[in-house]
Amino acid sequence: MNVLEELRQALPELSSREARAARHLMANYPMAGLTTVAEFANQSGVSTATVLRLVKRLGFPVYADFQVALRGHIEETLQSPLMRFGERKVRDEAAKTSFLARTSDRLAEHFRALPDLISEKEFDKVAVLLADPRRDIHLLGGRYSSNIANYMGDLLIAIRGKVYPISGQTQIWPQCLLDIGRNSILVVFDVRRYQDDVINFTDAAAKRGATIVLLTDIWQSPAARSAHHVLTFPVEAPSIFDVLTVGTGVAEALVGAVASKADTAGKKRIEALEDLRSHLAANNQTSAKNNQKTR
């Protein structure tokens, strides 16, 4: 059970006091829930009875069961390839199908599960945001997920302007914040083991008024605390490494949705890009021929 996702979904139905406790937990997830009931209540500014009602609303008969779920979340999110190595090796030796077959089967399951993980309404809201030409879009990812952020940025640039992938050393990231404000969208990719630099940048961008779109795994990066929209996808596979294939698919689906919403200006931009590519390719061929002649 994903407690954080349950909290997000339950929030509109909660009483004002329950919502206060829920927001405190979401802002300090999962550590706030690993304290005693009295401490949780005191830090949230509500009664212990309110905390226990919130826990029951989330499907836990007793507070101890709630904490077991939170500890399970920590164990899952902190898994490393080294921790999985021995366990997966045993499974591989016992498996009756090839590694490739098991991987393709798992990925197929993940893609089929996407409609249950991401609502069409939420997906469309994000696509509409990204299609708005008045908005500037910034994209950020972690050590590996930055590859998806850059790829998505490259695709979006062909459709619309004001798209800025954030890359390079983290020491230069603060200067990227200078151009982020209330009209900005920050698309963030962060999967387990979550990166503090990505989380902190997301929080800083949110404080500057940016709309945050987070693409993360089903356990959800702590960056979800600052996010306005969260799209989750599975990352587990037979490999000891988490896979970003499904996350790439979600990014590509978003770009496709944005392209479908592109107006005449979007079409003209793509046409201009194709003309520039053809022109530069012709010039490169001419230069290459001239260089051969001078040799």
pLDDT at 239 over 80: yes
> pLDDT by residue (tens digit) across 101-132?
999 999 999 999 999 889 899 999 999 999 99
pLDDT at 142 over 70: yes
Asked if residues 190 and 199 have their Cβ atoms less than 8 Å apart, the reply is yes
Q: What domains can be seen in the chain, in order of their start residue?
A: 3-77 (1.10.10.10), 118-262 (3.40.50.10490)
Sheet holding 211-217, edge to edge: 163-165, 136-141, 184-190, 211-217, 229-233
pLDDT of residue 87: 58
Give the integer Cα–Cα distance in Å for 169 and 176.
12
Give the integer Cα–Cα distance in Å for 78 and 145.
17
Asked if residues 6 and 14 have their Cβ atoms less than 8 Å apart, the reply is no
Task: Compute the Cα dihedral for 141, 145, 150, 156 and give only its sign.
Answer: negative
- Inter-axis angle of helices 3-10 and 16-27, nearest 10: 140
pLDDT at 88 over 70: no
pLDDT of residue 71: 82
pLDDT of residue 82: 57
> pLDDT by residue (tens digit) across 38-70?
999 999 999 999 999 999 999 999 999 998 888
Does the model's pTM come out above 0.75? no
Average pLDDT, the chain: 88
- For residue 15, which phi and psi values (nearest 5 degrees)? -70, 170
The residues facing 216 across adjacent strands are 190, 232
> pLDDT by residue (tens digit) across 169-224?
899 999 999 999 999 999 999 998 889 999 999 999 999 999 999 999 987 888 98
